[in-house]
């Protein structure tokens, strides 16, 4: 998480803001899912937000990411470690996770959480046929 972005984000409180009015300051996305971040810890290693992780069983990602669609803590440090080791070193596209550099802060209620930001570039049963 870049310093300029983390500095303007709300800091995580005892209980994160799970409201549809929450302002999503940052969006991370990858083939496995989307992470919508509204708050961050002082050390920038943990964030709070809404996560949509939807990896297919055939991708065998359970060891690293759990499928979910929920509000909660997001381990930013762990996501970066997965990118550094699994994607950059091993060239495993399942672990490509990027920050949306064009993201503008929006209320959570305006986000279509059923729309995936990045699609798997091969055969998949994740997405309904058009």
User: Which residue segment(s) compose the domain that 51 sits in?
Assistant: 3-110
Residues 121, 114, 59, 77: what is their CA dihedral angle, to the nearest 10 degrees? 100
Residue 99 covered by a domain: yes
- The answer to whether residues 46 and 16 touch, using CB atoms and an 8 Å cutoff, is no
The residues, any chain, with a CB within 8 Å of residue 58's CB and separated by 6 or more, are: none
Residue 71 covered by a domain: yes
CA angle 109, 114, 117 (to 5 degrees): 100
Q: pLDDT tens-digit profile of 47-80? A: 999 999 988 888 888 899 999 999 999 999 999 9
Mean pLDDT confidence for 21-49: 93
Burial level of 56, CB count in 10 A (0-12/13-18/19+)? Answer: middle
Residue 129 covered by a domain: no
Residue 115 covered by a domain: no
Residue 75 covered by a domain: yes
Which single residue is written with the structure tokens 């759990």?
Answer: 66
Question: How many domains does the chain contain in total?
Answer: 1
pLDDT of residue 60: 87
- For all residues of the chain together, what is the average pLDDT? 87
pLDDT of residue 119: 65
Mean pLDDT confidence for 72-92: 94
Q: d(Cα 64, Cα 24) in Å, to the nearest integer?
A: 24
Q: pLDDT tens-digit profile of 106-130? A: 999 999 988 877 765 555 455 444 4
Mean pLDDT confidence for 13-28: 84
Residue 56 covered by a domain: yes
Phi and psi at residue 7, to the nearest 5°: -65, -30
């Amino acid at each position: 998480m870049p310093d300029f972005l983390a500095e303007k984000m709300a800091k995580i409180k005892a209980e994160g803001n799970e409201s549809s009015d929450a302002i999503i300051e940052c969006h991370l996305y990858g083939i496995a899912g989307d992470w919508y971040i509204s708050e961050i810890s002082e050390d920038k290693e943990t964030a709070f937000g809404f996560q949509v992780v939807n990896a297919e069983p055939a991708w065998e990602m359970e060891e690293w990411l759990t499928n979910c669609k929920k509000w909660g803590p997001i381990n930013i440090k762990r996501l970066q470690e997965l990118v550094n080791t699994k994607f950059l070193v091993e060239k495993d596209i399942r672990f490509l996770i990027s920050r949306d550099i064009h993201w503008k802060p929006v209320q959570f209620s305006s986000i279509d959480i059923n729309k995936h930001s990045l699609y798997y570039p091969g055969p998949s049963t994740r997405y309904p046929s058009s």
